[in-house]
Amino acid sequence: MKYLVLLAFCLPFGLFAQTDPNEPAPTTSRILFILDASNSMYGRWEEGTKMEIAQRLMTEMLDSLAQVTNPSFQLALRVYGHQKPVPPQDCNDTKLEVGFSYNNLGRIKQVIRGLRPMGTTPIARSILRADKDFPVDCPTGHCRDIIILITDGVEACDEDPCEASAILQKNGRILKPFVIGVGLDKEVLKAFDCVGTYFDASNEKTFQKALDFIVTQALDNTTGQINLIDVKNQPSETNLPILLRNHASGKVDRSIIHTLNYQNQPDTLLVDPIVEYEGTVFTIPPQPIRPTQMYAGKHNHMGADVVLGKLQLVMPGLKLSQTPPLAVIRTPLDNHGGGKDILHVQSFNTTERYIAGTYAIDVLTLPRIHMNIKVEPNKVQTLTIPPSGEVTIQLKSPGFGAIFAIEGDAWTWVTHLDETSTRQQLTLQPGSYRVVYRPRTAQQTTYSKTQSFTISPGSSTLVRIL
């Protein structure tokens, strides 16, 4: 009955994971035990030696796992300190004794029963070599690679287990390791805080509980949800792309479109209780999901502040033959009156959601329209501009020139003329304009000509310069 809870967690993911054809393929949990068989494991510990107790409890755990039908896990065993005695010290005394497969529990038990402690404690080297213990190919296409380190001593080979663990996690190959410290002195416990999630087994009972809990957690998926918090502090926002990442490696764990379920609550996700997640909600601009640790046996919550409003861009009376202009949406105005980074390019006659705030907008008409606009929570901010008109510039011969917008005494450059063409069409916003032109063949500035014209919404205008 010791591992009844453990089996309860194993069965759903082994027997029933593929019953729904619409569900993704099940995840295979690959657990590598790194077992300390160094000389110190001969030390007395309650009713036997540390090694004897570890052998017995691990055997009981493996017997329970052997009862799981159609398992969704694979196990392997690496041992250190069991091949060469000390002195002298051999820091290469670490070996993968049993590789990963579905039918190797008996072999693992046989190796564990035959261990005789004798050597040193190369923890860092064992962790680094463990990276190659996990096959590159995963039997179900998605594997959770987990290390469980069981040790009664600290690093003895002048290497850094913390750095070794960080390298494996950063590479995204291995999840954060578990460490069970067997009868360790209190003053050395901190040495394992940076290696992984540490469990202090001060006696046989706590060792059993730690082993039971860790293996259960390693085999279990748990539930969580992502709360996108609105202006009323409610998780009501939804239908947004989200990337969730493993915080340790920075690699994408999954990509989803956020959904509210039939109860109008954030939909439930299966999450990994070993992983600390972070992420990005792809609003405009994107919002971060802060690093959040998952906990087995609980419904976990992740979240981001997503206070949204809408921006509607309107150009009424646009002809079917005309392409709507574009607007460049930038981060809020800087001290010089301009926007910084480009966040989005939005077409007119569309509506888009933005994080509430003030934005700089460049409307890509001729002439350009520069302004800032405030998007308020749960409101639609509408920007309307008149439809453009068309002007045809007819020249006697190709030449050099430009069009200026005229407002009072102010001239604003709009665009250059095409110096290779005698007939060119331009789309301009309504207003007053002047075109300045000199033929290519004219060698004196006195041949420059200026002509005024006006554009009305939706109009067509012909300007001849002969």
Indicate if 15 and 130 belong to the same structural domain: yes
Q: Report the alpha-carbon distance of residue 460 to residue 414 in Å, rounded.
A: 18
Indicate if 251 and 329 belong to the same structural domain: no
Does the pLDDT value for residue 8 go beyond 60? no
State how many domains the chain has: 4
CATH number for the domain spanning 90: value is 3.40.50.410
Asked if 29 contacts 143 with a C-beta cutoff of 8 angstroms, the reply is: yes
Render pLDDT for 104-153 as a digit per residue (tens, 0 to 9). Answer: 999 999 999 999 999 999 999 999 999 999 998 888 778 889 999 999 98
Indicate if 149 and 254 belong to the same structural domain: no
Query: Closest Cα to residue 151, out of 28, 1, 41, 269?
Result: 41
| Percent helix, strand and coil across the chain, each to the nearest 5 | 20, 40, 40
Q: Report the alpha-carbon distance of residue 46 to residue 158 in Å, rounded.
A: 30
N-term to C-term CA, the chain: 101
DSSP 140: T
Indicate if 17 and 66 belong to the same structural domain: yes
Render pLDDT for 340-388 as a digit per residue (tens, 0 to 9). Answer: 789 999 999 999 999 999 999 999 999 999 999 999 999 999 999 999 9
Over residues 410-421, the mean pLDDT reads 96
Render pLDDT for 191-201 as a digit per residue (tens, 0 to 9). Answer: 788 898 889 88
Q: How many CB atoms are closer than 10 A to CB 204? A: 19
Q: What percent of the chain has pLDDT over 70?
A: 93
CATH number for the domain spanning 251: value is 2.60.40.1120
Q: How many CB atoms are closer than 10 A to CB 263? A: 7
- Look at the block and give the residue holding tokens 């996690």: 169
Indicate if 78 and 208 belong to the same structural domain: yes
Q: Which amino acid is at 187?
A: E
Asked if 93 contacts 122 with a C-beta cutoff of 8 angstroms, the reply is: yes
Q: Which of 183, 203, 219 delimits the end of a domain?
A: 219
Does the pLDDT value for residue 314 go beyond 70? yes
Query: Closest Cα to residue 129, out of 101, 94, 181?
Result: 94
Indicate if 394 and 417 belong to the same structural domain: yes
Residue 120 has what pLDDT?
95
Indicate if 162 and 35 belong to the same structural domain: yes
Q: Report the alpha-carbon distance of residue 422 to residue 404 in Å, rounded.
A: 19
The answer for residues whose C-beta is within 8 angstroms of residue 210's C-beta and 6 or more apart is 180, 199, 201
Indicate if 174 and 30 belong to the same structural domain: yes
Residue 298 has what pLDDT?
86
> Mapped to the 3 state alphabet, what secondary structure does 286-334 carry?
CEEEEEEECCCCCEEEEEEECCEEEEEEECCCCCCCCCCCEEEEECCCC
Omega within 30 of 0 (cis) for the link into 88: yes
Asked if 304 contacts 241 with a C-beta cutoff of 8 angstroms, the reply is: no
Omega within 30 of 0 (cis) for the link into 235: no
Q: Which residues pair with 5 in a beta bridge?
A: none
Residue 217 has what pLDDT?
80
Domain housing 287: 222-305
Query: Closest Cα to residue 405, out of 431, 368, 380, 440?
Result: 431
189 φ/ψ angles, rounded to the nearest 5 degrees:
-65, -35
- Look at the block and give the residue holding tokens 């748990």: 222
Q: Which of 359, 384, 409 delimits the end of a domain?
A: 384
Residue 328's Cβ-count burial label (10 Å; 0-12, 13-18, 19+) is middle
Indicate if 133 and 234 belong to the same structural domain: no
C-alpha radius of gyration, the chain, whole number = 35
Res. 202 pLDDT band, cuts 50 70 90: confident
Indicate if 110 and 214 belong to the same structural domain: yes
Asked if 324 contacts 315 with a C-beta cutoff of 8 angstroms, the reply is: yes
Asked if 236 contacts 313 with a C-beta cutoff of 8 angstroms, the reply is: no
Indicate if 136 and 181 belong to the same structural domain: yes
Q: Is 346 helix (H, G, I), strand (E, B) or coil?
A: strand
Q: Which of 334, 354, 384 delimits the end of a domain?
A: 384
Res. 274 pLDDT band, cuts 50 70 90: confident
Query: Closest Cα to residue 244, out of 229, 264, 258, 259?
Result: 258
Over residues 262-276, the mean pLDDT reads 89
Residue 143 has what pLDDT?
85
Indicate if 398 and 421 belong to the same structural domain: yes
Residue 336 has what pLDDT?
57
Render pLDDT for 227-267 as a digit per residue (tens, 0 to 9). Answer: 999 999 999 999 999 999 999 888 898 899 999 998 899 99
CATH number for the domain spanning 354: value is 2.60.40
| DSSP run (H or E) holding 48 | strand 48-49
Query: Closest Cα to residue 270, out of 223, 216, 302?
Result: 223
- Look at the block and give the residue holding tokens 């989200």: 242
Asked if 266 contacts 225 with a C-beta cutoff of 8 angstroms, the reply is: yes
Res. 185 pLDDT band, cuts 50 70 90: confident
Q: Which amino acid is at 446?
A: T
